[in-house]
Amino acid sequence: MTDFANLPVESAKDISILRSDSGKLQLYMVSPQLDRYQGEQSYSKYPKGLSVVFYDENRNEKMKLSANYAVNYEERKIMEVKNNVIIVDFKKGDTIYTESLLWDQNRKTISSNVFVKRVNKDGILYGDGFDADESFSNYTLRRPRGSINIDKSE
């Protein structure tokens, strides 16, 4: 027997989404599968993962996020991204690896409560999570530790 209440109301394969504001490209997202569910709490699920490229005002790639799973709770404006989460900040040259993050669109914050690894030209830092603003312009690692390369000529 099939429980129809637990089936998606909409399902799509090989999706791509462009989001713009006032004619300016903000992001481009691709996913192998999108399932939408309705009920007391409507949500969209990306069970096979997603990849999102964010752009600056000049249409340059600013950041890329990829993960093996995501769920977006539309009414609550919260997106949870999990499993092999990688964030590449092209402007800063940072790459962040974690297993879970939460994007709270109401508070305009991104955070993680699990192990985080940040890699850049200066070294590798580890943390027990991170907190960032929505644009990822500013972020801090929780309980950072690791090694940093210091240029002695400066």
- Give all domains of the chain, ordered by start, each with its CATH number: 8-147 (2.60.450.10)
pLDDT tens string 29-79? 999 999 999 878 889 999 999 999 999 888 899 999 999 999 999 889 999
Spacing of C-alpha 130 from chain mean position: 13
Between residues 110 and 148, which one has the greater pLDDT?
110
Q: Is the pLDDT of residue 1 over 60?
A: no
Q: What is the spatial distance between Cα 57 and Cα 73, in angstroms, rounded to a whole number? A: 27
Any residues with CB less than 8 A from the CB of 113 and at least 6 apart, and which? 100, 102, 128, 129
Q: Which of 117, 143, 145, 109 lies closest to 128 in space, CA to CA?
A: 143
pLDDT tens string 87-124? 999 988 999 999 999 999 999 999 999 999 999 888 89
Q: Which of 68, 57, 60 lies closest to 31 in space, CA to CA?
A: 68
